[in-house]
């Protein structure tokens, strides 16, 4: 069949598949709504209506249809789905997104909170212990890679644990994982208590500020000046720490 309504009548075909077939095969003006598109629209428009409710589905379907360029449905639908699969992913690459200046979620630091779902998965707790290494007027940072939260953003040297860690435990990890012992540095401060809640994770932070007697060489670690810290995109809590403690 060549019409959306007729395609929808086929056994096993729902609104998403029908819209995809109608637009891809016949360039008919029907917007697709898959997980990628829900996520993109929720973030860009800052929509907090749960996507897994009747009201939410109506809100997103209306917006998707409004945004659809009627004469370019096929290429638009394919493009927005691809954008969600490669850029606006569950762990989005906001630092490389051409639309970040217009994205409500990015502007308000809500990327991990959108889209909203009523049926949430169990929240995972993680403990991020950051070693803020300083040598003279330079600080050591590295970019987050891999399929995890905050992909593409920057951070300090991370020592992740499964439970809260004491200063002694963090220092032990620093030595066993990176060969840094107390002979190489002076501890300036050790702060804990910051928490950042994401849609499916709860991150606990601690920061140990360390002054090194000489620079260290650790894989993927880069040294930048204090002034340059303002030029790098950090996750929300790290950005707050940099602004309050380092700049």
Give first-to-last CA distance, the chain, whole Å. Answer: 63
Rounded CA-CA distance 62/65 in Å is 5
C-alpha angle 243-172-196 in degrees, rounded to nearest 5: 35
* Residue that the structure tokens 């927005």 belong to: 80
For residue 240 the two structure tokens come to: 């707050």
Rounded CA-CA distance 243/3 in Å is 56
Rounded CA-CA distance 32/67 in Å is 11
- Residue 147 Cα distances to 5, 52, 151, 152, 196, angstroms: 39, 25, 7, 10, 19
For residue 173 the two structure tokens come to: 């990890």
Element (H, E) at 161: strand 157-161
Contact 174, 180 (CB under 8 A): yes
Rounded CA-CA distance 212/99 in Å is 39
pLDDT tens track, the chain, 247 positions: 999 999 999 988 999 999 999 999 999 999 999 999 999 999 999 999 999 999 999 999 999 999 999 999 999 999 999 999 999 999 999 999 999 999 999 999 999 999 998 876 678 999 999 999 999 999 999 999 888 999 889 999 999 999 999 999 999 999 999 999 888 899 999 999 999 988 789 999 999 999 998 888 898 999 999 999 999 999 999 999 999 999 8
Rounded CA-CA distance 157/122 in Å is 28
For residue 186 the two structure tokens come to: 């002076």
pLDDT at residue 155 in the model: 97
A 10 A CB-CB count for 166 gives 11
Contact 210, 188 (CB under 8 A): yes
Contact 169, 206 (CB under 8 A): no
pLDDT at residue 157 in the model: 97
Contact 247, 230 (CB under 8 A): yes
pLDDT at residue 198 in the model: 86
């Amino acid at each position: 069949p060549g019409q959306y309504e007729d395609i929808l009548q086929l056994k096993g075909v729902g609104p998403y598949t029908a819209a995809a077939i109608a637009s891809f095969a016949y360039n008919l003006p029907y917007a697709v709504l898959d997980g990628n598109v829900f996520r993109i629209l929720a973030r860009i428009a800052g929509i907090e209506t749960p996507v897994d409710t009747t009201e939410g589905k109506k809100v997103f379907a209306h917006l998707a249809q409004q945004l659809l360029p009627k004469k370019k449905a096929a290429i638009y639908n394919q493009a927005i789905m691809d954008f969600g699969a490669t850029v606006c992913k569950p762990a989005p690459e906001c630092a490389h997104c051409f639309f970040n200046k217009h994205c409500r979620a990015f502007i308000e630091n809500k990327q991990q909170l959108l889209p909203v779902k009523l049926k949430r998965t169990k929240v995972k707790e993680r403990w991020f212990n950051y070693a803020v290494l300083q040598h003279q007027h330079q600080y050591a940072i590295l970019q987050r890679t891999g399929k995890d939260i905050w992909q593409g953003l920057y951070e300090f040297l991370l020592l992740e644990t499964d439970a809260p860690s004491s200063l002694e435990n963090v220092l032990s990890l620093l030595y066993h994982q990176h060969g840094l012992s107390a002979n190489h540095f002076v501890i300036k401060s050790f702060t804990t208590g910051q928490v950042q809640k994401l849609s499916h994770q709860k991150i606990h932070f601690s920061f140990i500020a360390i002054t090194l007697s000489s620079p260290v060489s650790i894989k993927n670690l880069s040294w930048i000046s204090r002034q340059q810290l303002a030029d790098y995109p950090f996750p929300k809590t790290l950005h707050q720490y940099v602004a309050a403690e380092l700049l």
